[in-house]
Structure formats: structure tokens, C-alpha cells
Amino acid sequence: MTDANVKNNENAIVRVRDLHKSFGKVDVLKGIDCDIAKGEKVVIIGPSGSGKSTFLRCLNLLEQPTKGEVWFGENILTPIDPYMHPQIIRLSKVYKNLLKKSKVETPDLSEEVIDGAVIKIIKEDNLLEKEKSGAFKKAIKRLYAEKIMNVNLARQKVGMVFQHFNLFNNLTVMENLTLAPVKLKLKTKAEAEERARTLLKRIGLEEKANVYPSTLSGGQKQRIAIVRSLAMDPDVMLFDEPTSALDPEMVGEVLELMKDLASDGMTMVVVTHEMGFAKEVASRVIFVDEGKIKEEADPKEFFNNPKDERLKEFLSKVL
Amino acid sequence: MFDLFYKCFIEADRYNMYLEGLLNTVIIAIGACLLGVIIGVIVTCIRIVPKTNIFVKILDKIAQLYVTIIRGTPVVLQLFISYFVLLVSIKFVADGLIVAIVTFGINSGAYMAEILRGGILAVDSGQMEAGRSLGLTWFQTFSKIILPQALKSAIPTMFNEFITLIKETSVAGYVGIKELTKVQSFVTIQTMEIFMPLIIIAVMYLIIVLGLQYIQKRIERRLTKGDRR
């Protein structure tokens, strides 16, 4: 994993820091750092069970991360992870004690070097677990109160497309598209329907407005699921294997719509097995394996010159 | 045959006894159904709401205990307990009908809760995820998306429970409530006939159940409009 992408990117819409997720005793994500800038099209690939879907689902908190932070713009969605904030670590008693000790033991080192070393030790050994310092706790609380964003508000701006479409079965296509904007009072019913009709026209399914999802083909369902997200005017769109449940002849129409979105400048994060799509559309490809980002690069570099051994092996199987 | 029917049903205005019994049975059944649905919905909500705090967890345990006890004991026993023990011990001289409604309602609530919970669990979890990913709250998604689908799949089982409940009210006669089945003993005392009153009563139950089946079909037809078109 390259450190270059971990530095704070001011343009990033989504910032992920040291993301961990475990289900019971199974560690699925083991520390992922990733910035997604406005307009980027990030494609995530990896073997099944590697944690790529879980990673995507952590971005809008459909899965609650076990550790680490997820930032959406200027706001945080997860609790504060103190290890991510040196200025907070410096308030802890552990830090102060270690600093004092280190200064005595190694008086010839500069303050900066000692500070860095102490913070590193604290991070590596998880020394903040028992921290009781009031200033430390207050700092966490203050930062959280300042930066927290209601997850429901964030999700309004983060569209998600699922492998199994998940259209609302008890509602018509039109109702599927208008439910959330109307219910969340973002649009009036008339406005939402107007927008829905425009979106349906765009995908050539305006005559399906009043039918129920069960009458649609897989490709139609997925395209409607995509415009259902678009109806919320999201800042980012997450795609969780959007073509994996489709019959082969329907994959094309969904990918076409996604390419269309990409050329409109939508910020996209796509988990997929469609290598052609990755090559053509991605601005960055990420290889996730065993809960970590093993490699990330622009598609040319990624596919022509892979460095990670696991990635080479993976690409030799899928290409 | 007709003479027998005349003797057991029309002679000396005996049909009034049947009608009184029928009325009581219907009152108990409707009251218990409503109470059962209300309790069922509340218990289901407690059981499926995300367990975010200790208060909900405790309520959930109580709800589980309620379902276990009610389903684990015969309804006749529950009726005896509420009629003899509760009524006497709290010196509250209530109408027998009210005791029956409350008892059967509490009993039915436990079954209804499990039926509704089953219906909700049968709804694909992706539906909730889709709602949440659009920014809808848990409750908004639940009420607009999950519950309508759950009710649709639970309707046949719910009506099964209603039908069972109506027939179960026949044990209310054990605590001296003049419901439909009890009428047989009054008629038999007057006429010395056993068979005909039983047949008449059986037909009356059957008619109620047929009516319920008709309602069920109507509702199902309305709810399945989303399935094919």
C-alpha cells in the first residue's frame, strides 16, 4: 500500500482511515486507508471474500466499522478513532508519561523525533484503551460534536446500487423513484415525479412507470435501481457488483448506463468483476485482498504492470 | 328430520338462545381478534426493533417470555386462571364476556406476534438496506416497505389464527359464559335432544368461518396486485 494516498486530500468526498471490520471473530477488513476525490471513478476488484463489498458497505455505514474512521466531506460518520489524531494522542497520560521517560532515556534526540516515536508506539500497542485523562476524553467529544454528521443525511448524498437490485417490491417503478425524495421532504410529489419521468426517459423505460418491479427483467431492474439513487441527486454513487446477478445479455445495458454516468462526471466507487469496465472507465483501480488494499494504480499501470504477487495471480485467472 | 329441527330451533322461540350464544361468540371473537392484533403488533415491534439500548433488550426478553408462557399452556387453563384466580383475588366483578375477551386476546396476541415476526423475517433484508441507503430512517423503511410486504405474506396465517380463535372461544362455556357451544346444553335440557342442536351449532360456526374465508380472499386479491400485472 502506498502512503501517498493517505495524506489528507482536500478535494476528497470520502476519506477512509484505518478501517477495520470484523464479524465475530472473522476479521474482514484489516486497516484500509483510501481517499476518493470528486469526479473520480474508483473500481475495486479482488477475489471473493476479500472484503471489497464490506469495504463499500462501510462507506455508507450499512456495516458499522469496528475501528477506524469514515469521513464524508468535512464530516465524520463513525465515532472518532483517537489513534488517527496526533493532537488528541498528545493529550493522553500515556503519551505524557512515555514522552517524559523517552526524554530522560534519549536526551540527544530532538523533540520532534521523540514525539513521532511515542505516537507510533502508542498506535502500535493500542495504548489508549485504558486512557482516562479528562482532557483527552473532552477533546474526543469536542471533535465528535463538531464533525459528526447524521448518517441518514449522509446517505441521502451517497447513492448505492446493489447486486440484487433491491427495488421495493410493493411499490411501482414510479413510487420506487419518488418515495425517498418525497418522504424526506427534499422534493414535492410533483417535482419528484417530474424528475422520475426525466430519469426514466433517459434509460428508455418511461412506459414502465406504473408497473411493479416483478414484471421487469434483471437489466431493467438494475437500471431503475440506478436511477432511483440518481433521483436523490447524490454526490457519490456506490456500486456493489451491479452486474453479477444479471443474465449475460443484460450486463451490457447496465454497464452502458454506468459509463454514461461516469462521463457526466459522477463520482463513482464500483466493486465489480468486469475488467473491461475497469480498464475503460476507471480513473483508479484498487486491488483488495485479505482485508487490505494490496495495490492501487491507474488502470493502464494496474493491468499492464501489476506489482503485487497476489494481483498477478488474480489477473492471470480473470483476464 | 324437519320435526327434529323444528323442535330444537323454532319451537318455544329456541332460536333466541342460539342467537344469544352466536352474538356472545362473535363479540368475544372480534374483541379478542382486535386485542390480539394490537398486542401482536406491539410485541412484534419490540422484538424486531434494532436492539440499541438496554431498555429495548429488557422489553425484548419480557416479550419472549410472554410468547413462551402463552404458547406453552392450554387456553382453557389460561381462562380458568383469569376467571377464577384473577377475578376473585382482585375482587373485581367484571362481566364474564370481558374476562373472555381479555384472555383470548392475550392468548391470540402471542400467536399473532409470532406470525407477524415470521412475515417480517421473510422479507428480503435487501429491502431494508435499499431504504436505508437512500437516507430513509429505519422506521420509515419499515412502515412503507417492510410491513406492507410482511402483512401480505402473513395474511393467510393470520386468518388461520382468526379461524382457530373463533373456534377456541367454545371453551368459554367452561366458565359459564353463554357462548354458542354452551347453547347446546340449554337446548338439550329442554328438548332431550343432543344431535340436532350440535349440528345446528356446527353449521353456525361453519358459516362464520366461510365468511372469514371470503374476506381473506378479497384481501389477498387486493394485496397481490404487485405480483403480476
Residues B179-224 pLDDT 10s: 889 888 888 888 888 888 899 899 999 999 999 999 999 988 887 7
Strand partners, A158: A236
Share of chain B above pLDDT 90, in %: 58
Cβ pair A231, A191 in contact under 8 A: no
Cβ pair A30, A59 in contact under 8 A: no
As a whole number, mean pLDDT of residues A227-242 equals: 95
Distance between CA atoms of residues A19 and A158, nearest Å: 18
Q: Which of A318, A234, A304, A276 is nearest to A59 (CA)?
A: A234
Q: Which of residues 118-137 of B touch A (CB under 8 A)?
A: 124, 126-127, 129-137
**Closest residue in chain A to residue B128, using alpha carbons only:** A166
What is the DSSP-derived secondary structure letter of residue A80?
P
- In sequence order, what E strands does chain A have? 12-23, 26-37, 41-45, 67-72, 75-76, 158-161, 236-240, 267-271, 284-289, 292-297
Q: What confidence tier does A6 reach under pLDDT thresholds 50, 70, 90? A: very low
Question: Which residue type is seen at B168?
Answer: E
With left for phi above 0 and alpha for psi between -120 and 50, is residue A116 left, alpha or beta? alpha
End-to-end CA distance of chain B: 51
Asked if A229's CB is within 8 angstroms of B135's CB, the reply is: no
Domain CATH code at residue B84: 1.10.3720.10
For B112-170, give the secondary structure using H, E and C: HHHHHHHHHHCCCHHHHHHHHHCCCCHHHHHHHHHHHHHHHHHHHHHHHHHHHHHHHHH
A83: Cα within 13 Å, side-chain hemisphere: 18
| pLDDT tens digits, B49-65 | 888 889 999 999 999 99
Q: What confidence tier does B225 reach under pLDDT thresholds 50, 70, 90? A: low
- Domain span at residue B180? 2-228
As a whole number, mean pLDDT of residues B99-119 equals: 93
- Residues from chain B that touch A155, judged by Cβ atoms under 8 A, are 132-135
Cβ pair A157, A234 in contact under 8 A: yes
As a whole number, mean pLDDT of residues B69-75 equals: 94
Strand partners, A288: A293
Lowest mean pLDDT among A185-189, A225-229, B8-12, B187-191: B8-12
Q: Which residues contact A109 (CB under 8 A, 6 or more apart)?
A: A102
- Residues from chain B that touch A175, judged by Cβ atoms under 8 A, are none
pTM score, two decimals? 0.83
Distance between CA atoms of residues A36 and A7, nearest Å: 12
Distance from the Cα of B126 to chain A's closest Cα (Å) equals 6
Cβ pair A102, A94 in contact under 8 A: no
Can you read off the three cell numbers belonging to residue A52?
A: 471489497
Edge-to-edge strands of the sheet including A267-271? A158-161, A236-240, A267-271, A41-45, A284-289, A292-297
**Closest residue in chain A to residue B129, using alpha carbons only:** A62
How are the residues of chain B apportioned to helix, strand and coil, as percentages rounded to the nearest 5? 85, 0, 15
Strand partners, B2: none
Residue B125 has pLDDT above 70, yes or no: yes
B contact test, residue of A158, A168, A239 with most B CBs within 10 A:
A168
Distance between CA atoms of residues A316 and A311, nearest Å: 8
The larger pLDDT score, comparing residue B178 to residue B106, is at B106
As a whole number, mean pLDDT of residues A250-262 equals: 94
**Closest residue in chain A to residue B140, using alpha carbons only:** A183
Cβ pair A63, A56 in contact under 8 A: no
pLDDT at A8: 54
End-to-end CA distance of chain A: 23
pLDDT at A10: 65
As a whole number, mean pLDDT of residues B31-56 equals: 91
User: CB contacts < 8 Å between A and B, how many?
Assistant: 78
Q: Which residues contact B155 (CB under 8 A, 6 or more apart)?
A: B216, B219, B220, B223
| pLDDT tens digits, A37-67 | 999 999 999 998 899 999 999 999 999 999 9
pLDDT at A293: 94
pLDDT at B229: 41
Number of structural domains in chain B: 1
Strand partners, A240: A271
Distance between CA atoms of residues A212 and B227, nearest Å: 7
As a whole number, mean pLDDT of residues B70-95 equals: 80
State how far the alpha carbon of B183 is from the alpha carbons of A231, A288, B12, B18, B199, in Å: 63, 75, 15, 6, 12
Q: Which of B5, B17, B6, B16 is nearest to B173 (CA)?
A: B17
Q: Which residues contact A15 (CB under 8 A, 6 or more apart)?
A: A8, A9, A34, A35, A36, A69, A70, A71
As a whole number, mean pLDDT of residues B30-56 equals: 91
Asked if A170's CB is within 8 angstroms of B148's CB, the reply is: yes
Distance between CA atoms of residues A271 and A286, nearest Å: 9
| pLDDT tens digits, A106-132 | 888 888 888 888 888 888 888 888 888
Mean per-residue pLDDT of chain B:
88
Residue A7 has pLDDT above 50, yes or no: no
Asked if A215's CB is within 8 angstroms of B228's CB, the reply is: yes
Residue B10 has pLDDT above 80, yes or no: no
pLDDT at B185: 87
With left for phi above 0 and alpha for psi between -120 and 50, is residue B134 left, alpha or beta? alpha
Lowest mean pLDDT among A85-89, B28-32, B219-223: B219-223
Residue with cell 381479555: B102
